Structures are given as structure tokens and as C-alpha cells.
Structure 1
Amino acid sequence: MRLNGYRFRDTWFLPAPRRAVFDAVADLEGYPRWWPDVRSVRKIDEDTAELVCRATLPYRLVIRMRRAEQDASAGRLRVHLDGDLQGSLAARVLGHPRGTTLDITQEVVATKPLLRRLSPVARPLFQLNHALMMRRGRRGLLDRLA
């Protein structure tokens, strides 16, 4: 993998119905209401939105997400990413008797010049920043679904 390439995998257990989790994750425009690190979302068209994110480290990411797949019955979501990160994000929403598991896989290349330059030495910090952002996202989604 390239020095500025990242692969992230997160699994969230959510004690909520599968459909409620799927609907919340598919609604990009709603992210700022429950995910504090997603600062804004601008809808571009029916399949595309631009998100501005800022986690713990003092930089923001502008990411354009374009829907590639949205299948509620199969619990699958996939988007193409462009902007400060390029790549893809796939989510799988799986229901079971006690709630729902949300598996998220991101494969990205950092294209923001600052991230590209610093990736060789700051990679562990960028990974920690991502982990903290995802932790706050899970917490926010739990509150939203409660």
C-alpha cells in the first residue's frame, strides 16, 4: 500500500433495528445532527454529497461521496470518495436478535497536500484521529437511535 494509502475497518454493534440503522447511515444530509466530526453536508445531486469533516487534529477534509450502491434489503451501502480522500467506503448492515452490526470498510488515498506530505511520519496520528472520529460517530448514532 502507498504511504498515503489507508485501509480502515470498523464494526459497530447498535442495539437498534436494522432498518433504522440502515436509514440513518444512508441519510448523508443527517450526519451533522448526530456525528460531531461531520461539520457540514451539501447535497450536489440525488447520488452525490460533499462532506466537510474535522476530527481531533487541526485540519479539515472535504470529501465528495457518490452513491455506488444502496440496497436496503441486502443491507449494503457503497460510495465512491473524491476530494481530500479518494477511494471507496462500503457498509454492511446486519440485523440479529439483539440489534444490528454495522461493518464499515474504507480504502482511501490521502490527496490533501498536507496529508500526503506528512503521511510517512504522521501515519499513526492520522490513524488515531480516524479512530477517535469513528468512536464519536458510533456514540452519536447510538444517541440518535435511542
Structure 2
Amino acid sequence: MGGVQASYSFSASWVTAAPLDEVAATVVDLEHYPDWWPQVQAVAKLGPDTARVLCRSALPYTLDLVLDAVRREPPVLEVAVSGDLDGWVRWTLSPVDGGTRTDFAQEVSVDGALAAASLIARPLLRWNHHRMMAGCESGLRARLEGNP
């Protein structure tokens, strides 16, 4: 595709008071993301290693993504991302005192209207992603640590 294109790199890290195998099982279970990750609106399984995921954070825009499993065995869990974004998402899990350290990394590119918007709204789009990841962290902790 021609036209405007924009790339983004995101990362986040946190510790969840749960064993690595429980964190890994929750992260690879895409179909249940809407149960604990508020910004994941819907997931449809398309095949054994593929799912369609609709995400919406604070901004009034829903991302329509297809995730294809690349690695499902801890300590590294990874999916290829296509649809409104193209790239990958990787979760690296490490046992630490008190639970599991989660290192989240994402490298994606966009084109079309979202890329054009990023020319002026990049800080707002980064803030929106930060809100999404805050929802992920708090939702994952609540699910695995038993906090409402």
C-alpha cells in the first residue's frame, strides 16, 4: 500500500502475584480476554491459532485485529498482528519473588486514516495505548490475584 505509514513501539512491565504457568495460561487464552481486559470488546476464534479481536480504549475508535499465534510456550508468548495494525505482540514472563514479571512489547505499523491521524495525534494515540495497557495490567492482576 502507498501513502502515509506510521510505526509504533510500546512496552510495559509489571509483577503479578501469581505463578508463571497461571499468567501464561491466561495470556494465551484469547477467547477469555473480554472477561478480564476491559478494552478488549470481543474475540472470535477463527482457527486453532488465530483469533479476531476488537479493542477500544479511551478514544472513540475500535481496532479490528487478527492475531496469529507464533509462540505459545513460556517464557515467551507471541502473536503476529494484522488488520488495522501490522506487526507483533510479545509477552516475556519471568518468575520473581512474589509472582511473575510480565514484560510486554509491541511493534506495529499502521497506514491509511490511522497513520494520517498519527501525524498530528501521536501523543494522544500513545496515551490511548497506555490506558489500554493499564486496563490489561489491572485486569490481569484482578483475575489472577482474586481482587475485584
TM-score, normalised on structure 2?
0.92
Using the alignment, how far apart are the partners of 1:131 and 1:104 within structure 2?
A: 12
1:44 aligns with 2:43: no
Q: Which residue of 1 aligns with 2:29?
A: 27
Match of 1:86 in 2: 86
Query: Could you say which residue in structure 2 is the equivalent of 1:6?
Result: 8
C-alpha distance in structure 2 between counterparts of 1:11 and 1:96, whole Å: 13
Unaligned runs of 5+ in 1: none
Instruction: Letter of the 1:141 partner, please give it.
Output: L
Amino acid corresponding to residue 134 of structure 1 in structure 2 = M
Percent identity over the alignment is 37
Q: How far apart are the structure 2 equivalents of 1:5 and 1:82?
A: 14
Deviation at 1:70, TM superposition (A): 1.2
Query: How many angstroms apart in 1 are the aligned matches of 2:142 and 2:71?
Result: 26
Give deviations 1:88-129, integer Å, cap 9, x for gaps: 111111112211101111000023x33111111000000000
CA RMSD of aligned residues (A): 1.2
Give the drift of 1:3: 5.7
3-state SS of the aligned residue for 2:18? Answer: coil
Length, aligned pairs only: 142
Give the TM-score of the pair, scaled to structure 1.
0.93
Unaligned runs of 5+ in 2: none
Which region of structure 1 is more displaced relative to structure 2, 92-101 or 49-58?
A: 92-101
1:118 maps to 2:117: yes
State how far apart, in whole Å, the 2-side matches of 1:115 and 1:10 are: 22
Q: Match of 1:70, as an amino acid?
A: R
Return structure 1 stretches of 4+ with deviation > 3 angstroms: none
Q: CA deviation at 1:137?
A: 1.0
Q: Distance in 2 between matches of 1:104 and 1:67?
A: 15
Match of 1:67 in 2: 69
